[in-house]
Structure 1
């Protein structure tokens, strides 16, 4: 399937793996594709940036939502996250709880949601092929596939950033008609 990808779309897939590796993830999740698309100079990245979705804003939204959920869950069972962090840093040094895993070696597999997103990117191109004579999967198609999957983390991040899949899909459609 990757032979149909443009150079930019292949780069997005490579950068999604880099994002997963940086986060010590065992799989490339749909949110890693979103993070990679924010750096894309092509159609997918342009649509995201036009809606205020860039690397920094996505990382901030993820940190806010993950931190709040973790702190709330721990507080519910009587654990104060700030006290745990202070104790760990006192014993093991500053940043002891940051990025605590081993970096995955070799190829990182795609999570089911990411596989579906890439499959949907191909379907997007095949559906629009008659209209546009498209033969390749560009970054706009990768974004369209990602939006079609409806991954809950991606949906939540987009909502926090003031946009949603329908708005982005509409703008992708406008861009493809040009």
Structure 2
């Protein structure tokens, strides 16, 4: 399915993952997909949501109010500092070799208990459903590609995740937003 995603839609997924990491969440939910959409203010979907009065900063604050963040581990940094180890320097070197957020991931193990590397943050069932519904929305609009707006339509159609709740709590009329997105999307050019 991801081969049908446009660059902007793929970026939504990457930014959703980045938002989950920066908030130190162990999942990618509909709320992270919404943050990924809003982090690209020049896209159709972000412009429409912004026009209704919700931006990335406000949505991120709403996510933190509901889910919080995991502690950063300052006590560990202080303990290491007391024995002469600069955690920031260690983190910088590890991330230079293994990539950003490498120390934030919990090690994964296979069925035999062996360490497995390279696994990302898992999508929640609602986030997976949102992406499936994005495909259905693209097909319904006779679009050859799945665009960022289709992801937002999928999020609205799923309707029960935290992403949709944040939109509704911001006073956005979801049926109106849906009509506006569909009008903007139309079929992709051939």
Indicate whether the TM-score tops 0.5. yes
Runs (4+) of structure 1 exceeding 4 A deviation are 64-67
Moved more, 147-156 or 136-145: 147-156
Gaps of 5+ in 2: 69-73, 79-102, 107-118
Aligned pair in 2 of structure 1 residues 57, 128: CA closer, same or farther (>3 Å)?
same
- Please state which structure has a larger fraction of its residues in helix: 1
Cross-structure match for 1:176 = 185
Q: Aligned partners of 1:65 and 1:159: how far apart in 2?
A: 14
Give CA-to-partner distance per residue, 1:63-117, whole Å, 9 cap, x none. Answer: 44557xxxxxxxxxxxxxxxxxxxxx9xx99xxxxxxxx7225411111011100
Contact 1:155–1:164 under 8 Å retained in 2: no
Root-mean-square deviation (CA, aligned residues, Å) is 2.4
TM-score under structure 2 length normalisation: 0.67
Show the counterpart of 1:96.
none
Cα pair 1:24 1:104 within 8 Å, conserved = no
SS in 2 for 1:59: helix
Could you say which residue in structure 2 is the equivalent of 1:48?
49
For 1:9 and 1:46, the matched residues in 2 are separated by 15
Report if the CA contact (8 A) 2:126-2:161 is conserved: no
Contact 2:9 / 2:146 at 8 angstroms: preserved in 1? yes
